[in-house]
Amino acid sequence: MFFLSRSKEEKELISAINFILGYKTRKPELYKLALLHKSIRTEESNERLEFLGDAILGLIVAKHLFKLYPFKNEGFLTKIRSKIVSRESLNNVGRKIGLKKLINIKKIKTKSYDSINGDALEAIIGACYLEKGFEFCEKKVVTKIIVPYFDLDDLTTQTHNFKSKVLEWAQKERKKISFIVEKTKTSNRFSQFKSILKLNGEKISVGYGKSKKNAEKDASRIACEKLELS
Protein backbone atom coordinates (compact mmCIF):
# COMPACT_ATOMS: atom_id res chain seq x y z
CA MET A 1 0.00 0.00 0.00
CA PHE A 2 2.94 2.31 0.78
CA PHE A 3 4.36 2.03 -2.73
CA LEU A 4 0.98 2.15 -4.49
CA SER A 5 0.06 5.40 -2.73
CA ARG A 6 3.08 7.19 -4.14
CA SER A 7 3.08 9.39 -7.23
CA LYS A 8 4.83 8.28 -10.41
CA GLU A 9 7.67 10.72 -9.74
CA GLU A 10 8.17 9.41 -6.21
CA LYS A 11 8.07 5.79 -7.40
CA GLU A 12 10.79 6.55 -9.96
CA LEU A 13 12.89 8.24 -7.29
CA ILE A 14 12.44 5.31 -4.89
CA SER A 15 13.51 2.92 -7.64
CA ALA A 16 16.56 5.06 -8.42
CA ILE A 17 17.67 5.14 -4.78
CA ASN A 18 17.06 1.39 -4.57
CA PHE A 19 19.44 0.97 -7.52
CA ILE A 20 22.06 3.25 -5.94
CA LEU A 21 21.91 2.13 -2.30
CA GLY A 22 20.00 -1.14 -2.44
CA TYR A 23 16.94 -0.32 -0.36
CA LYS A 24 13.49 1.19 -0.83
CA THR A 25 13.37 4.46 1.03
CA ARG A 26 10.24 5.45 2.90
CA LYS A 27 11.29 9.09 2.85
CA PRO A 28 11.70 10.00 -0.82
CA GLU A 29 11.32 13.68 0.09
CA LEU A 30 14.78 13.50 1.68
CA TYR A 31 16.29 12.28 -1.57
CA LYS A 32 14.30 14.76 -3.60
CA LEU A 33 16.03 17.46 -1.57
CA ALA A 34 19.38 15.70 -1.95
CA LEU A 35 19.02 16.03 -5.72
CA LEU A 36 17.87 19.67 -5.68
CA HIS A 37 20.64 21.94 -6.95
CA LYS A 38 20.90 25.50 -5.62
CA SER A 39 20.31 26.90 -9.11
CA ILE A 40 16.62 25.97 -8.70
CA ARG A 41 16.04 27.51 -5.28
CA THR A 42 18.20 29.77 -3.16
CA GLU A 43 16.36 29.19 0.13
CA GLU A 44 16.40 25.38 -0.14
CA SER A 45 18.88 23.07 -1.86
CA ASN A 46 21.02 19.99 -1.29
CA GLU A 47 23.91 21.96 0.21
CA ARG A 48 23.15 21.12 3.86
CA LEU A 49 22.75 17.42 3.04
CA GLU A 50 25.95 17.60 1.03
CA PHE A 51 27.75 19.03 4.08
CA LEU A 52 26.41 16.23 6.27
CA GLY A 53 27.14 13.53 3.69
CA ASP A 54 30.71 14.74 3.27
CA ALA A 55 31.36 14.25 6.99
CA ILE A 56 29.60 10.87 7.11
CA LEU A 57 31.46 9.60 4.03
CA GLY A 58 34.81 10.68 5.46
CA LEU A 59 34.14 8.73 8.67
CA ILE A 60 32.91 5.64 6.81
CA VAL A 61 35.94 5.57 4.52
CA ALA A 62 38.35 6.13 7.43
CA LYS A 63 36.76 3.30 9.44
CA HIS A 64 36.74 0.96 6.41
CA LEU A 65 40.42 1.58 5.65
CA PHE A 66 41.38 1.30 9.33
CA LYS A 67 39.90 -2.22 9.43
CA LEU A 68 41.15 -3.21 5.99
CA TYR A 69 44.78 -2.20 6.55
CA PRO A 70 45.59 -2.96 10.22
CA PHE A 71 49.36 -2.61 9.76
CA LYS A 72 49.48 0.53 7.60
CA ASN A 73 50.48 3.86 9.11
CA GLU A 74 48.45 7.06 9.37
CA GLY A 75 50.09 8.61 6.31
CA PHE A 76 49.08 5.71 4.08
CA LEU A 77 45.51 5.68 5.37
CA THR A 78 45.16 9.44 4.91
CA LYS A 79 46.46 9.27 1.35
CA ILE A 80 44.03 6.53 0.28
CA ARG A 81 41.09 8.18 2.05
CA SER A 82 41.86 11.46 0.25
CA LYS A 83 41.81 9.68 -3.10
CA ILE A 84 38.44 8.08 -2.40
CA VAL A 85 36.68 11.21 -1.13
CA SER A 86 38.27 13.58 -3.65
CA ARG A 87 35.88 15.61 -5.79
CA GLU A 88 37.23 13.94 -8.92
CA SER A 89 36.59 10.44 -7.58
CA LEU A 90 33.09 11.24 -6.34
CA ASN A 91 32.21 12.94 -9.62
CA ASN A 92 33.31 9.83 -11.52
CA VAL A 93 31.16 7.58 -9.30
CA GLY A 94 28.21 9.94 -9.66
CA ARG A 95 28.52 9.89 -13.44
CA LYS A 96 28.72 6.09 -13.52
CA ILE A 97 25.64 5.81 -11.30
CA GLY A 98 23.74 8.16 -13.60
CA LEU A 99 23.08 11.00 -11.17
CA LYS A 100 23.06 13.57 -13.96
CA LYS A 101 19.62 12.32 -15.03
CA LEU A 102 18.27 12.65 -11.50
CA ILE A 103 19.66 16.01 -10.38
CA ASN A 104 17.16 18.86 -10.48
CA ILE A 105 19.28 21.68 -11.88
CA LYS A 106 18.57 24.82 -13.87
CA LYS A 107 19.92 24.68 -17.40
CA ILE A 108 22.05 27.70 -18.11
CA LYS A 109 24.68 28.43 -20.73
CA THR A 110 27.88 27.11 -19.18
CA LYS A 111 30.49 24.44 -19.83
CA SER A 112 29.23 22.35 -16.94
CA TYR A 113 29.13 22.33 -13.18
CA ASP A 114 32.25 20.36 -12.44
CA SER A 115 31.09 19.05 -9.08
CA ILE A 116 27.34 18.46 -9.28
CA ASN A 117 27.63 14.67 -9.42
CA GLY A 118 29.95 14.43 -6.42
CA ASP A 119 27.91 16.99 -4.48
CA ALA A 120 24.69 15.06 -5.11
CA LEU A 121 26.32 11.77 -4.14
CA GLU A 122 27.37 13.23 -0.80
CA ALA A 123 23.86 14.65 -0.30
CA ILE A 124 22.37 11.20 -0.96
CA ILE A 125 24.66 9.73 1.70
CA GLY A 126 23.52 12.47 4.08
CA ALA A 127 19.89 11.61 3.35
CA CYS A 128 20.51 7.92 3.97
CA TYR A 129 22.11 8.71 7.32
CA LEU A 130 19.17 10.86 8.40
CA GLU A 131 16.64 8.20 7.47
CA LYS A 132 18.36 5.01 8.62
CA GLY A 133 21.20 5.94 10.98
CA PHE A 134 24.96 5.50 10.79
CA GLU A 135 25.31 1.70 10.87
CA PHE A 136 22.83 1.15 8.04
CA CYS A 137 24.32 4.01 6.01
CA GLU A 138 27.83 2.68 6.58
CA LYS A 139 26.89 -0.78 5.30
CA LYS A 140 25.26 0.61 2.15
CA VAL A 141 28.10 3.02 1.35
CA VAL A 142 30.71 0.28 1.71
CA THR A 143 28.82 -2.41 -0.24
CA LYS A 144 27.18 -0.20 -2.87
CA ILE A 145 29.73 2.57 -3.44
CA ILE A 146 33.23 1.85 -2.11
CA VAL A 147 33.57 -1.84 -3.04
CA PRO A 148 32.00 -1.67 -6.55
CA TYR A 149 33.55 1.62 -7.67
CA PHE A 150 36.99 1.77 -6.06
CA ASP A 151 39.89 -0.59 -6.74
CA LEU A 152 41.84 -0.13 -3.52
CA ASP A 153 44.83 -2.09 -4.80
CA ASP A 154 45.01 0.26 -7.75
CA LEU A 155 44.57 3.33 -5.54
CA THR A 156 47.61 2.42 -3.46
CA THR A 157 49.85 2.86 -6.50
CA GLN A 158 47.90 5.42 -8.50
CA THR A 159 49.00 9.07 -8.58
CA HIS A 160 46.20 11.64 -8.64
CA ASN A 161 48.30 14.79 -8.35
CA PHE A 162 48.18 15.58 -12.04
CA LYS A 163 49.64 19.05 -11.66
CA SER A 164 52.74 17.74 -9.88
CA LYS A 165 53.06 15.03 -12.50
CA VAL A 166 52.99 17.38 -15.46
CA LEU A 167 55.34 19.87 -13.74
CA GLU A 168 57.85 17.12 -12.97
CA TRP A 169 57.66 15.91 -16.56
CA ALA A 170 58.20 19.44 -17.92
CA GLN A 171 61.22 19.96 -15.67
CA LYS A 172 62.72 16.64 -16.72
CA GLU A 173 62.17 17.41 -20.40
CA ARG A 174 63.40 21.00 -19.93
CA LYS A 175 60.17 22.48 -21.19
CA LYS A 176 58.55 25.67 -19.96
CA ILE A 177 55.06 25.20 -18.56
CA SER A 178 52.58 27.91 -17.58
CA PHE A 179 48.96 28.28 -16.46
CA ILE A 180 46.74 31.16 -17.53
CA VAL A 181 43.70 31.33 -15.28
CA GLU A 182 40.69 33.55 -15.89
CA LYS A 183 37.28 33.88 -14.31
CA THR A 184 34.33 33.18 -16.57
CA LYS A 185 30.96 34.51 -15.45
CA THR A 186 28.04 32.13 -15.89
CA SER A 187 25.20 33.86 -14.03
CA ASN A 188 24.55 36.30 -11.20
CA ARG A 189 25.15 33.59 -8.58
CA PHE A 190 27.64 31.28 -10.25
CA SER A 191 31.14 31.77 -11.54
CA GLN A 192 33.66 29.40 -13.00
CA PHE A 193 37.38 29.51 -13.61
CA LYS A 194 39.12 28.49 -16.81
CA SER A 195 42.77 27.45 -16.86
CA ILE A 196 44.82 27.27 -20.05
CA LEU A 197 47.92 25.11 -19.77
CA LYS A 198 50.72 26.10 -22.13
CA LEU A 199 53.85 24.15 -22.95
CA ASN A 200 56.64 26.27 -24.43
CA GLY A 201 53.99 28.87 -25.20
CA GLU A 202 51.71 26.42 -27.02
CA LYS A 203 48.24 25.66 -25.63
CA ILE A 204 48.01 22.02 -24.60
CA SER A 205 44.79 21.84 -22.59
CA VAL A 206 41.97 23.83 -21.05
CA GLY A 207 40.44 22.99 -17.67
CA TYR A 208 37.47 24.27 -15.70
CA GLY A 209 36.65 24.45 -12.00
CA LYS A 210 34.86 26.35 -9.26
CA SER A 211 38.26 27.66 -8.08
CA LYS A 212 41.59 28.53 -9.71
CA LYS A 213 43.16 25.49 -8.09
CA ASN A 214 40.52 23.10 -9.43
CA ALA A 215 40.74 24.62 -12.90
CA GLU A 216 44.51 24.06 -12.93
CA LYS A 217 44.04 20.49 -11.75
CA ASP A 218 41.53 19.84 -14.53
CA ALA A 219 43.87 21.31 -17.16
CA SER A 220 46.73 19.22 -15.77
CA ARG A 221 44.62 16.05 -15.90
CA ILE A 222 43.78 16.61 -19.57
CA ALA A 223 47.43 17.44 -20.33
CA CYS A 224 48.55 14.17 -18.70
CA GLU A 225 46.14 12.27 -20.94
CA LYS A 226 47.35 14.04 -24.08
CA LEU A 227 51.03 13.60 -23.16
CA GLU A 228 50.33 9.98 -22.14
CA LEU A 229 51.88 10.42 -18.69
CA SER A 230 51.04 7.30 -16.72
CATH classification code of 162-227? 3.30.160.20
Which residues of the chain form CATH 3.30.160.20?
162-227
pLDDT band, very low/low/confident/very high, at 111 (cuts 50, 70, 90): very low
Say whether 151 is catalytic.
no
Say whether 122 is catalytic.
yes
Does residue 36 carry a pLDDT above 80? Answer: yes
Identify the helix (H) or strand (E) that includes residue 208.
strand 202-209
CATH classification code of 8-155? 1.10.1520.10
Please state, for a pLDDT cut of 90, what percent of the chain lies above it: 47
- Which is the catalytic residue, given 54, 114, 216, 218? 54
- Which is the catalytic residue, given 114, 119, 122, 138? 122
Taking phi first (over 0 means left), then psi (-120 to 50 degrees means alpha), and beta for anything else, what does residue 77 get?
alpha
- Distance of alpha carbon 73 from alpha carbon 201, whole angstroms: 43
- Distance of alpha carbon 154 from alpha carbon 47, whole angstroms: 31
Among 35-39, 108-112, 162-166, 220-224, name the most confident range.
220-224
In this prediction, residue 56 carries a pLDDT of 98
Which residues of the chain form CATH 1.10.1520.10?
8-155
pTM above threshold 0.75: no
